[in-house]
């Protein structure tokens, strides 16, 4: 078994951090087996080195090693890329194609950004992990494959499972052994070593003297949080190597290349959980509100019609006020002129109800032998009822149109129009 130091030299891994050494040690230990491995860590920490180490130390080292970036393949074609397809399986499938799992039979597949896989593809992958079987797209013939899977992700898998974006059973199949790569900010002693390594590489590449940092610049380099980790550090080293004329880099020069360098001592900003308020959810809420409004208006029409049949104007007015305020609230908050007219039309211009001809009603006696005569009520037209309601509202509010319109549940503009129409 190779030593950790020998592995570092072979794959140009720089650093002596305890967590980094532990990650490499776990990779060396698990390599001779066929156990599935999940490599976790932030973007840019160098997760791609671990599957290479595992493959090179396994009994599969002479077979194929294929690295697949799951986040870079469109959702509609990823099944075809991984499992292959038959001729005519979909538009553009002019010939049969072998997928990565067929090509890499006997070898290792590295699934980078596995957390981005669609749920349908996750089901297919789970079948491969459980019994080594898969189906090509458009085929019903089961095929066998013997592939070692090493996956990597920078996604919080527990959050993804909780949000139903990743299958829990697949997670436990992939993470038989989990290897975590620490972020660069937790490897303080390695930051300057890495920078010097990158500076030397770029000096040779561009045939220029190697840049060196002054002492205060080194302190800033170590204090900086490096949100992009090793990838960001490498890019900064390349920029400075190319753009700076002086080969001695001062604090001010380095500071100009580091975004938000003044906030290096602040704690990390924790991103809040994204709220599910996308367009589809808003549309569903809007539909629900509209259907509720339609139902409320129908209830209002039925209630008004029923009360008009009973010729109870006071009750009509009171129930209308309650329902209108419940449904629409204060008019000045939401309505345009057209909406106000529509509301007024729905409320005041109801279809004329069917009214039976009045028939004489005998006196009704209660148990105490008192009798009341039920007077015949005069049937009024809907227009007369409307005029009567408006008059009563104006009298009750001493001619104040604003208060009267609020009581009637219509806009002041609509009330003014009705006053002119009926010459009140």
Domain that includes residue 298, residue range: 279-353+378-422
At 390 the pLDDT is 83
Q: Per-residue pLDDT for 353 more than 50?
A: no
191 and 98 in a single domain? The answer is: no
User: Binning pLDDT at 50, 70 and 90, where does residue 324 land?
Assistant: low
3-state class (DSSP) for residue 402: helix
193 and 137 in a single domain? The answer is: no
160 and 14 in a single domain? The answer is: yes
97 and 63 in a single domain? The answer is: yes
290 and 145 in a single domain? The answer is: no
- Kindly state whether residue 234 falls inside one of the protein's structural domains: yes
19 and 122 in a single domain? The answer is: yes
- Kindly state whether residue 170 falls inside one of the protein's structural domains: yes
140-144, 194-198, 414-418: which has the minimum mean pLDDT? Answer: 414-418
What digits encode the pLDDT tens for the residues 269-278? 544 444 444 5
At 327 the pLDDT is 55
Give the domain-ending residue among 263, 287, 307.
263
Give the domain-ending residue among 182, 197, 220.
182
Q: Per-residue pLDDT for 406 more than 60?
A: yes
24 and 168 in a single domain? The answer is: yes
Q: Are 127 and 70 in contact (CB under 8 A)?
A: no
At 379 the pLDDT is 47
Whole-prediction pTM: 0.62
14 and 114 in a single domain? The answer is: yes
Find the CATH number of the domain harbouring 121: 3.40.50.300
- Kindly state whether residue 24 falls inside one of the protein's structural domains: yes
18-27, 47-56, 160-169, 322-331: which has the minimum mean pLDDT? Answer: 322-331
- The DSSP secondary-structure symbol of 200 reads H
Give the domain-ending residue among 182, 216, 233.
182
- Kindly state whether residue 272 falls inside one of the protein's structural domains: no
User: Binning pLDDT at 50, 70 and 90, where does residue 385 land?
Assistant: confident
- Kindly state whether residue 336 falls inside one of the protein's structural domains: yes
Domains contained in the chain, number: 3
214 and 111 in a single domain? The answer is: no
116 and 194 in a single domain? The answer is: no
Q: What is the mean pLDDT of residues 360-365?
A: 45
169 and 57 in a single domain? The answer is: yes
At 92 the pLDDT is 85
**Long-range contacts, 342-350 (Cβ 8 Å, 24+):** 343/409, 343/410, 343/411, 344/410, 344/411, 344/414, 346/297, 346/300, 346/301, 347/300, 347/304, 347/320, 347/409, 347/410, 348/386, 348/410, 348/418, 349/382, 350/301, 350/304, 350/305, 350/308, 350/382
At 76 the pLDDT is 86
What digits encode the pLDDT tens for the residues 330-349? 444 444 555 545 544 544 44
173 and 190 in a single domain? The answer is: no
């Amino acid at each position: 078994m190779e030593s950790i130091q020998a592995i570092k030299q072979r794959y140009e891994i720089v650093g002596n951090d305890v967590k980094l050494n532990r990650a490499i040690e776990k990779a060396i230990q698990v390599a001779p087996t066929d156990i599935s491995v999940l490599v976790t860590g932030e973007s840019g920490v160098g997760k791609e080195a671990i599957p290479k180490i595992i493959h090179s130390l396994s009994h599969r080292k002479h077979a194929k090693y294929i690295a697949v970036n799951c986040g870079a393949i469109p959702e509609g074609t990823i099944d075809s890329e991984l499992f292959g397809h038959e001729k005519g399986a979909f538009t553009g499938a002019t010939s049969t194609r072998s997928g990565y799992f067929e090509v890499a039979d006997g070898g290792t597949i590295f699934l980078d950004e596995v957390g981005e896989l669609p749920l349908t593809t996750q089901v297919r992958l789970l079948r491969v992990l459980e019994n080594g079987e898969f189906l090509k797209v458009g085929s019903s013939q089961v095929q066998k494959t013997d592939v070692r899977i090493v996956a990597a992700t920078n996604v919080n898998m527990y959050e993804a499972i909780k949000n139903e974006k990743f299958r829990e059973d697949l997670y436990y199949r992939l993470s038989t052994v989990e290897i975590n790569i620490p972020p660069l900010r937790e490897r303080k002693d390695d930051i300057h070593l890495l920078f010097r390594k990158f500076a030397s590489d770029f000096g040779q590449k561009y045939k220029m003297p190697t840049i060196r940092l002054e002492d205060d610049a080194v302190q800033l380099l170590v204090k900086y949080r490096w949100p992009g980790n090793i990838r960001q550090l490498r890019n900064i080293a390349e920029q400075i190597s190319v753009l700076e004329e002086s080969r001695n880099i001062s604090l001010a020069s380095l500071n100009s290349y580091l975004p938000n360098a003044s906030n290096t001592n602040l704690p990390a900003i924790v991103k809040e959980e994204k709220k599910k308020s996308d367009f589809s959810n808003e549309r569903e809420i809007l539909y629900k509100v509209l259907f509720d409004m339609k139902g409320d208006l129908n209830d209002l029409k039925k209630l008004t019609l029923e009360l008009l049949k009973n010729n109870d104007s006071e009750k009509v007015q009171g129930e209308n006020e309650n329902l209108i305020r419940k449904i629409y609230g204060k008019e000045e908050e939401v309505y345009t002129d057209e909406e106000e007219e529509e509301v007024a039309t729905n409320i005041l211009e109801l279809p004329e109800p069917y009214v039976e001809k009045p028939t004489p009603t005998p006196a009704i006696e209660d148990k105490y032998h008192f009798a009341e005569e039920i007077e015949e009520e005069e049937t009024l037209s809907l227009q007369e009822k409307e005029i009567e309601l408006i008059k009563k509202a104006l009298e009750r509010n001493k001619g104040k149109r604003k208060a009267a319109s609020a009581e009637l549940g219509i806009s002041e503009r609509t009330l003014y129009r009705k006053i002119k129409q009926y010459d009140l």
